[in-house]
Amino acid sequence: MNIVVCVKRVPDLAEAEIVVDRSEKGIETEDLVFDINEWDNYAVEEAVLLKESIGGTVTAISLGEEDSEEVLRRGLAVGADNAILLNDRAFDGGDAFATAKALAAAIERNPFDLILTGAQAADDGYAQVGATLAEMLGIPHATLVTGLEIDGNVARVHRELEAGLEEILDVRLPAVLTIQTGINEPRYVSIAGIRRVARREIEVLGAKDLGLSGDEVGAAGSRLEMQRLFVPPATQKGEILEGSVDVTTEKLVSIFASKGWLA
């Protein structure tokens, strides 16, 4: 089975102070730590687990600048066989549609049976690349996958739905699946493992290599345009009502009345 897994290098914003840059279309990244997108990490692990159980190859692919080689080498260290970096200034500023366009052009150059992506990216949260990629390739897809078994050319997929519900369905391969966190336990990547693949070749492709023109990818090929990025302003603080039931009820009724919420 030929498995392709899409990965992205993103900033870790869990405990970082976010500062919008001068363009108001991005954030200051100078002092931020970057790592593999959390959802993509689970996708890589699932790809490697499938390879270990049923055989085949795993190819990791990323769209980004030279620094994105870090996440590709991480994929190689845990078991991926090949890595491809899509690096071209023409790809800059692309939305989910433009990103999927470049990925599709790269992926369809070689035979594939299954494409795994993260359910979404931590930096933009589009959650659209996987489904758009499937549409462009003309193959089925399933999103928010929390369980996966392969039987021949069919993938039995467990999908996370709202309100704690789960859907189980069969998807004919080839297909695109977007992986949700918790589907597995990603393995630890040691420094020795990273060193072991430090000299492994990573194929680098630009727009021309993929037969794409500049107006098909990046900002020019996007369907969405970022107008302005800003940190939401602080709103009025909440008020905690204290006292007995009678006292808090009286205060609550008084607040409702002052806002005209009582008929």
Per residue, what are the HEC states of 91-107? HCCCCHHHHHHHHHHHH
Q: Does 240 reside within a domain?
A: no
Q: Read off the DSSP letter of residue 210.
A: G
pLDDT at residue 183 greater than cutoff 90: yes
Question: Which tens digit of pLDDT belongs to each residue from 99-126?
Answer: 999 999 999 999 999 999 999 999 988 8
Q: Does 229 reside within a domain?
A: no
Q: Are 181 and 44 within 8 A, CB to CB? A: no
pLDDT at residue 263 greater than cutoff 80: no
Question: Which tens digit of pLDDT belongs to each residue from 31-90?
Answer: 899 999 999 999 999 999 999 999 999 999 999 999 999 999 999 999 999 999 999 999
Q: Does 251 reside within a domain?
A: no
Which residue range forms the structural domain that includes residue 38?
2-210
Mean pLDDT of all residues in 187-215: 94
Identify the burial level of 96 via C-beta atoms within 10 angstroms of its C-beta, where 0-12 means exposed, 13-18 middle and 19 or more buried.
Answer: buried
Other residues' Cβ atoms within 10 Å of the Cβ of residue 137: 19
Q: Does 82 reside within a domain?
A: yes
Question: Which tens digit of pLDDT belongs to each residue from 221-254?
Answer: 999 988 998 888 877 778 889 999 999 999 999 9
Structural domain tally of the chain? 1
Distance between CA atoms of 149 and 161, rounded to whole angstroms? 18
Q: Give the H or E element holding residue 82.
A: strand 82-86
Locate 15 and state its tokens.
């405990």
Would you state the pLDDT for residue 188? 93
Question: Which string of b and e fits 165-174 if b means at least 16 CB within 10 Å?
Answer: eeeeeebebb
pLDDT at residue 260 greater than cutoff 90: no
Would you state the pLDDT for residue 231? 83
Q: Does 206 reside within a domain?
A: yes
Q: CATH number of the domain that 202 lies in?
A: 3.40.50.620
pTM (two decimals)? 0.87
